[in-house]
Amino acid sequence: MATTSDFRNGLCIEFNGDLWTIVEFQHVKPGKGPAFVRTKLKNVRSGKVVPNTFTSGVKINVQRIEKRPFQYLYNDGESFHFMNTETFEQIPVEKSIISAPDLLKEGDMVTIAFHAETESPIECEMPAYVTLEVTYTEPGEKGNTATNAFKDATLETGAVVKVPLFINIGDKIKVDTRSHSYSERVKG
């Protein structure tokens, strides 16, 4: 058991029967009354962020989270299958815990966080940027670039992102997995 003095950003705790990570916290010592800790907690399963106040010194149940590298293998429609690159163990993961499942390409490396007690996957973090090939986009019209104009492009994974007019079919582009947005064209 730990107390509120052990709080730090990223710490995973059990609160109201669910797993939460501490996004930010602040110790507050008012002139009158007991000290308390104001926090923002993020639900590990749903991603919902809620504010919460703990009385200073209250006992909390800290949970251990282990992060391991995995390689994406395939999607069978119901779940996504990953392989541990060290033990070659394969695990199925629900689509709901993957940050950007439509940008996953076979062979991509991800980091999967496991709840240490139950050995269940709770979060799948993708790299910040992935490089994907454009399989379809409308041709860009020359001279039609007075403003920042964008068009839809379908990528090799089936995802659709907005790209500048100069991007053509066959170009490789870097996509930000956090915002599903075009970042840059990859040369070569």
State residue 54's pLDDT score: 93
Half-sphere exposure of 65 (CA within 13 A, CB side): 20
Q: Do residues 52 and 72 share a domain?
A: no
Q: Do residues 102 and 142 share a domain?
A: no
Q: Do residues 58 and 69 share a domain?
A: no
- Tally of structural domains, the chain: 3
Q: Do residues 69 and 118 share a domain?
A: yes
For 173, the enclosing helix (H) or strand (E) is strand 172-176
Answer yes or no: is pLDDT of 143 > 70. no
The percentage of the chain sitting over the pLDDT mark of 70, rounded to a whole number, equals 96
State residue 2's pLDDT score: 86
Q: Do residues 57 and 42 share a domain?
A: yes
β 129-137/90-94 pair status: unpaired
Per residue in 5-48, pLDDT (tens digit) is: 889 988 889 998 888 989 999 999 999 889 999 999 988 877 78
Q: How many CB atoms lie within 10 A of CB 100?
A: 20
Per-residue pLDDT band for 164 (boundaries 50, 70, 90) equals confident
CATH of the domain at 18: 2.30.30.30
Q: Do residues 110 and 133 share a domain?
A: no
CATH of the domain at 99: 2.40.50.140
The per-residue pLDDT of the chain, averaged, comes to 88
Match 């590298």 to its residue by tokens. 69
Q: Which of 62, 80, 107 corresponds to the end of one domain?
A: 62
Q: Which of 125, 141, 171 corresponds to the end of one domain?
A: 125
Q: Do residues 102 and 134 share a domain?
A: no
Q: Which of 62, 85, 105 corresponds to the end of one domain?
A: 62
- Give the residue numbers spanning the domain of 93: 65-125
State residue 145's pLDDT score: 59
Question: Where are the alpha helices (H) located in 34-111, listed in sequence order?
Answer: none
Measured CA to CA, the distance from residue 93 to residue 122 in angstroms comes to 9
For 184, which DSSP code?
E
Tell me what the mean pLDDT of segment 44-73 comes to.
90
Q: Do residues 140 and 181 share a domain?
A: yes
Q: Do residues 103 and 133 share a domain?
A: no
Q: Do residues 69 and 117 share a domain?
A: yes
Give the pTM: 0.75
Per-residue pLDDT band for 98 (boundaries 50, 70, 90) equals confident
